[in-house]
Amino acid sequence: MRSYIKDYIFLTIGALIYAFAIEGFFVPNGIIDGGVTGISMILNTITGHALGLFIIGINLPFVILALKKLGLKFVFATFYSIIVFALGVTFFAAKFPVGLIPNLELFLVSIFGGLILGGGVGLVIRNGSSLDGTEVLAIYATKRIPFSVGEIIIFINLFIFTIAGFVYDWQHALYSIVAYFVAYKTMDVVIEGLNESKAVFIITDYSDEIGRDIMQKMDVSVTYIDAEGGYSGAKKRIVYCVISRLQIQKLKEIAKNIDPRAFIAIENVYEVEGVRIKKRKI
């Protein structure tokens, strides 16, 4: 229950941050977001009807469609996030009718609005929800057309930004693309975290010596993985550990000093959980 409460607190905060970015920066300056929110903003401009109603109405079919594919828990969390977002948009529209900072340069609107928007959306996604139904549509569309989910979403958003060029003007449409790119990158940082770690695999004939030096000189736990050479068929032990980016060079020096021919593979790790086993005191 505590975990659910924590998730929904962050979903609420993320959805409200998203709404704040839309009404505090984007809407008053003619900048739009991608996906369902972008479509809703265009319809709001054309018809004058409430933006929140379009957000709920257009997303609702996609939320229902997601029930079979993504499960009740995800669908309920998504529906909750969309409702909070729609209410937040209505509130901030009344609070900031001319934007948070009137007459702000469009480039600054795109950058700072995109940063805030990406932070809000990233917080929602990180806690098991979504704010846009186009991703669900893309998941279903991949069964019928030979494109990936990411490619379909890009195509949909390019179509939306093209329509925005006719509804607003091409300058605003291009700034919308800049804002979308900034938001996308910010969202990645929030979801994956700033403290990106590195997973290291060392294939060597001196696994015991290298592993021992890593533990003693770097105070890093290692794991030994039994393996077999594909060509030679020789039995080997892979040294595996997770380190920070700043420790990469030191680890390479330790490995190469013992075995200059050691094969080292390094991968990104975006989240690390669990208790580290400390080295024994001798």
CB 40 within 8 A of CB 56: no
- Mean pLDDT rounded to a whole number for the chain: 85
Residue keyed to tokens 């039994």? 226
Residue from 14, 270, 272, 17 nearest 125 by CA: 14
What token pair was written down for 221?
């736990």
The model's pTM: 0.73
pLDDT band at 280 (very low <50, low <70, confident <90, very high): very low
**Domains of the chain (ranges plus CATH)?**
2-192 (no CATH), 197-269 (3.30.70.120)
d(CA 124, CA 140) in angstroms, rounded, equals 22
Residue from 80, 38, 43 nearest 60 by CA: 80
pLDDT band at 133 (very low <50, low <70, confident <90, very high): confident
11-60 pLDDT, tens digit per residue, is: 999 999 999 999 999 988 989 988 899 999 999 999 988 999 999 999 99
Q: Mean per-residue pLDDT for 64-78? A: 81
Q: Cα dist. 193→126, 143, 270 in Å?
A: 10, 32, 6
- The pLDDT of residue 260 is 92
